[in-house]
Amino acid sequence: MKQIAVISGKGGTGKTVVTGSFAALAKNKVMVDCDVDAADLHLLLHPEVKERHEFRSGQTAVIDKKLCKKCGKCASVCRFGAIKSDYTIERFSCEGCALCSHICPRGAIRMEENVAGEWFVSDTQYGPFVHAKLGIAEENSGKLVAKIRQIAKELAQKQNLEYVIIDGPPGIGCPVIASLSGVDCALVVTEPTLSGLHDAKRVMEVVTYFNIPIKLVVNKYDLNPLMTGKIEEFCRSLNVPVIGKIAFDKTVVKALVEGTTVIEYAECAASNEVKKIWEDLQ
């Protein structure tokens, strides 16, 4: 079994379009959407949800108004500014450390477990799909990513699937690190812009930090061929293979609007290039 994570650093470079195309091309795989706080892959795969599970993680402090004497001890130790002047909890600031509940002389603060989201195992016309929805304004996205990756891996082992294909989140922080841990290959999708290069460099440093092999794709490469050249040059200096250059093609947006992958929508320059990229990844 091989696990491939598609990441980018910068958002909106085309991760999900590329991953969605792999769903149409790869056989014997499970798809995973690890961009749990702004998941989009389901819009291409049209899952039929088979299993739905609550994701419980973290806790939030609750002050019992009847017991509280407003002594201020809790507010004086809270480093997250989560205790408001009326001795209620600012839910979005509380990080669930529970220090207030330990320190309160009257035992007036209890911790409640958060339902931080949901995760799903689904069927799609492309095979099994594991995805999630982080609750609005919730935290612990990294843990939710780790959870659905574990489920996908178990599913792949049980069904003898060849690939786990992961649509990763943007950035370089906790959900990205959770998406990368233990994968066999990270495919970085970037665009020929200064921001794209800057962000790809940072995310590639993260991938290297975890000792994971990298391959790179430049999306919309013809929008700035000079910048594409700079990205290729940079990759050469790191011995990172550039395995594809996808042309800017309005067909891609049209396929998206129709809710389908570019592979199925039309034979075009972009779909042909993505086929080549998938062949290389195999």
Partner 1 sequence: MIISVASGKGGTGKTTVAVNLALSLKNIQFIDCDVEEPNAHIFLKPRIAGEKKANIPVPEVDEAKCTYCGKCREVCAYHAIAVLPGSDGKKGSVLIFPHLCHGCGACSLLCPQGAIKEVNKEIGAIEIGEKGNMQFIHGRLNIGEAMSPPLIRQVKEYINSTRIVIIDAPPGTSCPVITAVKESDFCMLVTEPTPFGLNDLILAVEVLRKLQIPFGVVINRSDIGDGKVEDYCANEHIPVLMKIPFSREIAVSYSEGVPIVEKDASYQDKFINLYLNICGIKNEANSRH
CB 280 within 8 A of CB 244: yes
Residue from 195, 213, 238, 267 touching partner 1 (CB under 8 A): that is 195
Convert residues 175-194 into a mask of x (bound to partner 1 by CB under 8 A) and - (unbound): xxx-------------xxxx
Work out whether 171 is an interface residue with partner 1 (CB under 8 A). yes
Pairing of the two strands 163-167 and 29-33: parallel
Work out whether 167 is an interface residue with partner 1 (CB under 8 A). no
77 CB burial (10 A radius; 0-12, 13-18, 19+): middle
Looking at residue 72, its amino acid is G
Q: How many residues bind partner 1 (CB under 8 A)?
A: 63
Work out whether 136 is an interface residue with partner 1 (CB under 8 A). yes
The structure tokens listed for 45 are 């795969």
Nearer to partner 1, 160 or 257 (CB): 257
Which residues on adjacent β-strands are paired with residue 61?
A: 111
Nearer to partner 1, 78 or 281 (CB): 78
Nearer to partner 1, 216 or 227 (CB): 227
Residue with tokens 């430049």: 218
CB 251 within 8 A of CB 270: yes
Work out whether 168 is an interface residue with partner 1 (CB under 8 A). no
Find the binding residues for partner 1 in span 225-254 (CB under 8 A): 227, 250, 253
CB of 20 to partner 1, least distance (A): 10
Find the binding residues for partner 1 in span 69-128 (CB under 8 A): 77, 79-80, 92-93, 95-99, 102-103
CB 268 within 8 A of CB 249: yes
Nearest to 55 by CA among 113, 138, 140, 116: 116
Work out whether 66 is an interface residue with partner 1 (CB under 8 A). no
Residue from 48, 154, 205, 280 touching partner 1 (CB under 8 A): that is 205
Residue 280: strand, helix, or coil: helix
What does the CA dihedral 12, 251, 28, 55 come to, rounded to 10 degrees?
A: 40
Residue from 72, 107, 173, 213 touching partner 1 (CB under 8 A): that is 173
Nearer to partner 1, 30 or 203 (CB): 203
Residue 43: strand, helix, or coil: helix
CB 59 within 8 A of CB 100: no
Nearer to partner 1, 27 or 136 (CB): 136
The structure tokens listed for 88 are 């209620």
**Rg over CA atoms, the chain:** 22
Residue from 12, 72, 182, 229 touching partner 1 (CB under 8 A): that is 12
Residues that bind partner 1 (CB under 8 A): 8-13, 16, 37-40, 43, 59, 77, 79-80, 92-93, 95-99, 102-103, 134, 136-139, 141-142, 169-177, 191-196, 198-199, 202-203, 205-206, 209-210, 223-224, 227, 250, 253, 256-257, 259
